[in-house]
Amino acid sequence: MNTRERLINVTSDLIRKKGYFGTGINEVLKQVGVPKGSLYHHFPKGKDELIREAVYWGGESQMQKYGNALKGKPAEEGLSDMIDVMVNELINSNFEDGCPIAAVAMASGTIDEEIREACAKVFVGWQNNLAGYLERRGIDNAQVKAEELYSMFEGAYVLSKAHRDVKYLLLQKKFIGTILNS
């Protein structure tokens, strides 16, 4: 990775732990090992531009992980394995790594509107991917069901992180069939 990519990568890791306000530029620069001028060289608009790029980066990385979990499987099995991606990320990070987008999206309304739009675009991308996946498996009302499954999983991700307990994510597996067959 070049310097620009390393700045984005480190920021992407920090925002999923601490959100927009908790992510300090000095911490990013320190972790990457570059001086402050490097930030403005690569991101002329500063912190907000860097965070926006990190939202896209984190979103695309997460989409790849979900895609790998879903690939080639029947819907219920694929969705169950997608939940395990979130479960494993929480466990492996000692419950620090939640949804890479939600911690930033939480503060939308009080932060740069372009960052909020980036979060919304990532969420829509995930939902549309999931809707396509369900459609290809013959599920009716795939778009609505994809949006519903996303709400469920997103909420369970928040609750599991807050409780330091993956039971909320695992509970979703019981209701996948209920939603798909509704």
Closer to a copy of itself at the Cβ: 42 or 87? Answer: 87
Q: Judged by CB under 8 A, which of 5, 30, 64, 144 binds a copy of itself?
A: 144
Quick one: which of 6, 18, 47, 173 contacts a copy of itself (CB under 8 A)? 18
Give 23 or 42: the residue with its C-beta nearer to a copy of itself: 23
Considering the rule CB under 8 A, would residue 105 count as an interface residue with a copy of itself?
yes
Q: Is 164 in the site for a copy of itself (CB under 8 A)?
A: yes
**Spatial contact of 103 and 15, defined as CB atoms under 8 Å apart:** yes
The single residue among 34, 85, 106, 139 that binds a copy of itself, judged by CB under 8 A, is 106
53 part of the interface to a copy of itself, by CB under 8 A: no
Residue with smaller CB distance to a copy of itself, 102 or 134: 102
The distance of closest approach from Cβ of residue 174 to a copy of itself in the complex, given in angstroms and rounded to an integer, is 8
Task: State the Rg of the chain over Cα.
Answer: 17
Q: Which of residues 107-136 bind a copy of itself (CB under 8 A)?
A: 107-110, 116, 119-120, 123-124
Residue 95 interacting with a copy of itself (CB under 8 A): yes
Q: Are 124 and 55 in contact (CB under 8 A)?
A: no
Tell me, by CB under 8 A, how many residues bind a copy of itself: 50
